[in-house]
Structure 1
Amino acid sequence: MIILKSLRRFSDLKLKLSPHQLYITQGKGTERPFMGDHWWVKDTGTYYCIVCEQKLFPSHYKFFPDTGRCHFFASEDGATRLSGDNPKDQEVQCSGCGSHLGHFHPEGPAPTHVQYVIESGSLSFKEKPWFTVPPTRRALKQPRREAKALLKKQKEAEREEQRLKAVEENKLIKQKAHEELLKQHEENRKNKEQKKKQDNQGDQKNQNNEEEEANKPKSE
């Protein structure tokens, strides 16, 4: 399984890197002096691992002895690791992917008095822009305006929610009042019908009494 993963990784690197870069980083190769792409570069920027793109060396850590190679007096914290038993000539590897970068020597310039001799084929360089446009006053105030707009939107949403809630409550109150009014009308109608029925019964009773009086024999 480990062999298959290694073969797959090597195949991916063959597609990503040039033969020269593959030879340097995976075969621990050495470039010919003055033939690399970065040894003479004095631009401001940052050097990255060509394999995993981990940040390795800022350009202000670089110095230029007449060797035709990239020399740095320090690296980013935790970006590299050393391998080898000879303290005067150790291999420098990328801590992210383990690729070969170059060699470490304990003699170097101030302030560290050590030097990293790095192969150009193991590095990629990203130049820092010459000038970054400072933000305008409007841009500086933009977060505050956005916060105010968001707060205003939230308050409007709360007011709209309260308005809808009040409308719903008024609707329920009106519906309840309407139901009570209908109930009262129904009770009044029933009372009227009952009263009318009682009146009809009273009229019928009076009419029967009158007929009985009329049918009684008259006394001589």
Structure 2
Amino acid sequence: MRERALIHVAGPPGSGKTTFVEAMLSAGGGPILAARCIRDDALRQARETAPVTHPELRRYRQAGASGVALFTFPENDLGSDAFFVTNLMTDYSRAVLLEGDNPLGFTDLAVFVAPAPADDEALFVRRTRNLVATKRARAAIAERYAGIQHAQLVVVNIRSESERKRGEQIVADVVRLRKEEDLYDDILGFCGSRIPITAVVANLTDPDDPGRKKALARARRALRSRSS
């Protein structure tokens, strides 16, 4: 029986995913493995490497990961056992952190690290396709935030206090997604869950930031619930 927690950290490039992984690793809690996962449909089969000079892997090691790997996989390996038979997974650990694309299709905790929006940017957009038939434009998630709707933990990572108000709007909209019927039906529908999620604004580089502490506490609960 699998006892270690699997935590997936998603988000657009430059949002702070690796910074969140570093924070998890630095917080301790037992041996933790970390993998940078990249989907590459040009491959015929999944591939595991651990280059010493790879930037994310180097940061994982420095933050205290007990083992690291770069895992690249094609679409036909999504949801397969390819990741579980890697050399990385032969190492003992209490948790495995997967940054980037998700090769498993499931995890114990799905985290989305989001950037603060620009002044003219919003979480929701309206699609006008088939507007006559539906009589209203349907809501959708803006492309840069694709995947945020499925996360159980959302962290809007701000670089300065000037971004906080805009970050708080993203958090408010994430909460609205599960409360407003039209938004829920348009974006989540039958695949969604109304279970409340944790959504915070945080400066992930500041160890004293309250949002960062709350996000890490939520991740540690997932780790404890699986490995205890």
- Highest Rg: 1 or 2? 1
Higher relative CO (Cα under 8 Å, sequence separation at least 6) belongs to 2
Fold match (TM-score > 0.5): no
> Please, what TM-score do these two structures have when normalized by structure 2?
0.17
Kindly indicate which of the two structures has a greater share of residues assigned to helix: 1
TM-score by length of 1: 0.17
Greater strand fraction, Structure 1 or Structure 2: 2
